[in-house]
């Protein structure tokens, strides 16, 4: 078995095991003051609606339980698009107390649906202004983490093939990269949507559909989800595509999940393809436990939560906590990522998605 095959297998299995472990819910004990005098009383539970791939850090969850006496129950609801669609269908009578995973591509849809209760924790005032949700959305959504969606490159594959890897969006349509790229469907994938919207920003109203036509002619594969693209199609994990749409923070994940098989990432990032995402949390209107819901959203800006997001979900914190060494070594922030105009996205998203379908489906 070659070294590259061993590495791929180790990365895949390590990622699956780590994800399973991290999603386990914290069951920390609570003190008598939190539960009353009944020693058999169960602690209250605050329910967190989020996407399937979210990983709740055990230590952060235990710190929340210690601070509030309540446990966090994660309710996974598919990918981020399915999560939001389901939440909108039950607006006012939610199955959870807090929603997490609305991002700067779906802000307007969430706000228009009367889904959320007005709440902004005091700590949000200290965050960088560019992280805040636009307009009235800032009253109901709190930034929790940020990341860049970027094309990841299997550097070893390109070195072996003697081909220069792509640097920017334009390179992806090059004949030398025919049949090498896999992206996610923007209709139901958050990174896929961010990438599509990034092309509207880079190429403008007149040029972005022509760009997708060029990608299609060049053999781009559109996968239904990030999991499918990254774990099934990407060459690092045994697939046949050495270019995958993922995140700027994916390379350190390769090392962490390899369980010692790697001492540096296999992948690099095509810096000129990066699009900034910000993820938000909000209190669901009609929540069964609104006070605990506000406590949880506020806690998401605390040091225990913010220090955990990098290695639990491979995103960047929004507060000024220290990044882990893996991020400092292998996940520098892209120099000039595309920043989306959330209000323009809100006005045009449905039309743009229909136009994308007309070209790609």
DSSP string, 161-179: HT-PPP-BTGGGG-GGGTT
Per-residue pLDDT at 334 exceeds 70:
yes
CATH number at residue 56: 3.40.190.10
Which backbone phi and psi does 151 adopt, to 5 degrees? -75, 125
Lowest mean pLDDT among 10-14, 162-166, 260-264, 286-290: 10-14
Say if residue 48 is in the same domain as residue 155. Answer: no
Report how far residue 167's alpha carbon sits from residue 274's, in angstroms, rounded to the nearest whole number. Answer: 10
Say if residue 191 is in the same domain as residue 243. Answer: yes
Q: In the chain, pLDDT over 90 holds for what percent of residues?
A: 67
Read off the pLDDT band of 96 (50, 70, 90). Answer: very high
Q: How many CA within 13 A on the CB side of residue 205?
A: 5
Say if residue 233 is in the same domain as residue 289. Answer: no
Per-residue pLDDT at 306 exceeds 90:
yes
For 2-24, what is the mean pLDDT?
A: 36
Q: How many domains does the structure of the chain reveal?
A: 2
Concatenated DSSP letters of 4-39: HHHHHHHHHHHHHHHHHHHHSPP-----HHHH-S-T
Lowest mean pLDDT among 7-21, 59-73, 334-348: 7-21
Q: Which of 25-29, 108-112, 164-168 has the highest mean pLDDT?
A: 164-168
Lowest mean pLDDT among 23-27, 88-92, 304-308, 347-351: 23-27
CB count in 10 Å sphere of residue 89: 9
Q: Which residues pair with 147 in a beta bridge?
A: 277
Residue 10, pLDDT score: 35
Say if residue 14 is in the same domain as residue 134. Answer: yes
Where are any strands of DSSP class E within the chain?
45-50, 71-76, 98-103, 142-154, 181-184, 221-223, 243-247, 267-269, 275-283, 316-317
Say if residue 179 is in the same domain as residue 76. Answer: no
- Closest to 248 in 3D by CA, of 159, 189, 335: 335
CB count in 10 Å sphere of residue 281: 27
Q: In the chain, pLDDT over 70 holds for what percent of residues?
A: 88
- Closest to 314 in 3D by CA, of 74, 53, 64: 53
Say if residue 272 is in the same domain as residue 311. Answer: no
Q: Which of 1-5, 12-16, 260-264, 334-338 has the highest mean pLDDT?
A: 334-338
Residue recorded with tokens 């990030």: 226
Residue 42, pLDDT score: 54
Say if residue 218 is in the same domain as residue 304. Answer: no
Read off the pLDDT band of 14 (50, 70, 90). Answer: very low
Residue 30, pLDDT score: 37
CB count in 10 Å sphere of residue 126: 10
For 243-262, what is the mean pLDDT?
A: 90
Say if residue 66 is in the same domain as residue 116. Answer: yes
Residue 346, pLDDT score: 83
pTM above 0.85, yes or no: no
Q: What rounded mean pLDDT belongs to the chain?
A: 86
**Inter-residue contact 242 to 158 (CB < 8 Å):** yes
Q: Which two tokens stand for residue 298?
A: 């506020």
Say if residue 266 is in the same domain as residue 320. Answer: no
Say if residue 223 is in the same domain as residue 344. Answer: yes
Q: Which of 16-25, 75-84, 188-197, 209-218 has the highest mean pLDDT?
A: 209-218
Say if residue 232 is in the same domain as residue 337. Answer: yes
Say if residue 124 is in the same domain as residue 218. Answer: no
Per-residue pLDDT at 264 exceeds 60:
yes
- Expressed as residue numbers, the domain containing 59 is 3-145+278-328
Residue recorded with tokens 């070659």: 2
């Amino acid at each position: 078995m070659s070294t590259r095959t061993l590495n791929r297998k180790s990365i895949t299995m390590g990622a699956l095991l780590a994800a399973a472990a991290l999603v386990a819910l914290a069951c920390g004990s609570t003190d008598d003051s939190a539960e009353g005098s009944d020693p058999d009383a169960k602690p209250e539970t605050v329910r967190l609606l989020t996407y399937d791939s979210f990983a709740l850090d055990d230590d952060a969850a235990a710190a929340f339980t210690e601070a509030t006496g309540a446990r966090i129950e994660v309710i996974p609801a598919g990918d981020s698009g399915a999560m939001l669609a389901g939440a909108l269908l039950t607006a006012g009578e939610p199955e959870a107390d807090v929603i997490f995973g609305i991002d700067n591509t779906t802000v307007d849809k969430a706000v228009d649906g009367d889904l959320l209760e007005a709440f902004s924790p005091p700590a949000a005032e200290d965050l960088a202004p560019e992280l805040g949700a636009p307009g009235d959305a800032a009253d109901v959504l709190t930034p929790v983490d940020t990341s860049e969606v970027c094309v990841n490159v299997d550097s070893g594959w390109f070195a072996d093939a003697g081909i220069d890897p792509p640097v920017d969006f334009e390179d992806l349509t090059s004949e030398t990269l025919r049949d090498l790229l896999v992206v996610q469907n923007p209709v139901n994938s958050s990174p896929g949507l961010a990438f599509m919207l990034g092309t509207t920003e880079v190429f403008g109203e007149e040029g972005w559909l022509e760009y997708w036509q060029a990608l299609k002619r060049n053999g781009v594969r559109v996968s239904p989800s990030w999991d499918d693209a990254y774990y099934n199609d990407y060459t690092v994990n045994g697939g046949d595509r050495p270019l995958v749409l993922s995140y700027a923070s994916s390379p350190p994940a390769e090392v962490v999940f390899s369980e010692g098989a790697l001492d540096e990432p296999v992948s690099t990032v095509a810096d000129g393809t990066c699009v900034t995402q910000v993820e938000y949390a909000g209190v669901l209107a009609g929540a069964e436990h609104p006070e605990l819901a506000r406590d949880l959203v506020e806690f998401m800006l605390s040091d225990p939560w913010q220090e955990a997001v990098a290695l639990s979900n491979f995103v960047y914190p929004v507060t000024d906590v220290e990044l882990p060494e893996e991020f400092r070594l292998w996940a520098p922030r892209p120099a000039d990522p595309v920043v989306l105009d959330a209000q323009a996205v809100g006005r045009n998203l449905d039309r743009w998605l229909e136009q994308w379908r007309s070209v790609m489906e």
